[in-house]
Amino acid sequence: MSAFLLAFLGSLITAAFIVRYRHMHQHFTNDDDLSSVQKFHASPVPRIGSLALVIGLLTGILPRLWSDPAIARFILLLLATATPAVLAGVAEDLTKRFGWKERMLATLCSAALAGWMFSGWLTGLELGPFDFILAWPLMSVFFTCFAVTGVTHSFNLIDGYNGLASAVGVVILIGIAYVAFQVGDISILVACFAGAGAVIGFLMWNYPRGLIFLGDGGAYLIGFWVAELSVLLVVRNPQVSKWFPLLLCFYPVFETLFTIYRRVWLHRAHVGMPDAAHLHQIIYKRLVRWAVGSREASAITARNNMTSPYLWLLSSVAVIPAVLFWRHTLLLQICALLFALIYIWLYRAIVRFKTPRWMTIRGGR
């Protein structure tokens, strides 16, 4: 727990300084774009939550160099492998000119570095013939890098409202920590606690007030932390089903897959073209925007904050059975299928204005 508390305090204090002294750096750290299709905040906000996360992680881990040097070195090395992805995200946060292809390549580099440093390659998915393909070393390397990159970017995709990606990341890290405890993998357990502490420290300033944003750098760090710890957990502990981390991360992963399907196959658009049709965005526009009808900044923030709990609940639909059935592949696969059906039903219902009344928040306009 010391890693959690120290990481929490390090992140909390760093975020406090960023917010308190934003007048000194806002000319290059603020997210000033309030009009694009993916923006739902009312005023410019610092977009460097990644700094709070990194300092929080370092604060939580560095003291262990004296008490648990092996664990500390493991987590510091993991943080080092995340550097290309995080720096690419920060470059986009500060310049708004670092394209998605460059960020994808940087994330692939991080995934490859982590796989090489930890010998963490997925050699099977418990899918019969597909496992024969992954038995080939080159295919194993390719698939692992692809999976880690996909999960990392999926957290950036769902990072649209206060507390959304960060809270989902915390819940998933706690799920990984629980299973790591069950199998006695202390290094991964401590890494999860440190990551969760750092994210919650940031979250204190992000939700509900929205005083600081994760930015691409912060979203990539959370996504990479979740993805790589998931891979290492199943590689180092064969008793854990390969479907455990997949179901655990199924909300951001399925959101990404559905977005690709929607953009490429339904709308014949470029896969990297931003839009305002993600599930969290249509929930905002059709389930909560009527609750506070004013266009004042406080009302926009209130609507923003009402959106995230819907997705926290949806994410838990995958996380809870993943934690309960972490060693039972068939049950995990059935739960993954059920989640996909629930997601599609919910999306179609909201788009067609057939959402159950109990899901709609109403108020004065």
Residues near 204 by beta carbon (within 8 Å), at least 6 away in sequence: 12, 15
Condensed to tens digits (0 to 9), the pLDDT of residues 202-239 reads 999 999 888 999 999 999 999 999 999 999 999 999 99
- HEC letters along 344-358: HHHHHHHHCCCCCHH
Contact 322, 332 (CB under 8 A): yes
Taking residues 174-185, report their average pLDDT. Answer: 97
Strand pairing partners for 31?
45
Between CA 28 and CA 94 the distance in angstroms is 6
Determine the structural domain holding residue 57 and report its residue range.
Answer: 2-359
Q: Give the number of other CB atoms < 10 A from CB of residue 28.
A: 11
Taking residues 57-83, report their average pLDDT. Answer: 95
231 alpha-carbon distance from chain centroid:
15
* Secondary structure of residue 99 in the 3-state scheme: coil
Taking residues 231-255, report their average pLDDT. Answer: 96
Tell me the CA distances in angstroms from 259 to 34, 57, 119, 254, 267, one per residue in order: 23, 31, 32, 8, 11
Residue 196 counted as domain residue: yes
Condensed to tens digits (0 to 9), the pLDDT of residues 98-145 reads 888 899 999 999 999 999 999 999 988 888 777 888 889 999 999 999
* Average model confidence (pLDDT) across the chain: 88
Residue 365 counted as domain residue: no
Residue 321 counted as domain residue: yes
Residue 107 counted as domain residue: yes
Total count of domains within the chain: 1
Contact 165, 158 (CB under 8 A): yes
Residue 340 counted as domain residue: yes
Residues near 234 by beta carbon (within 8 Å), at least 6 away in sequence: 122, 240, 241, 242, 244, 245
Taking residues 326-345, report their average pLDDT. Answer: 96
Pairwise pLDDT comparison (84 vs 39), residue with the higher score = 84
Which of 46, 49, 44, 16 is CA-nearest to residue 32? 44
Residue 364 counted as domain residue: no
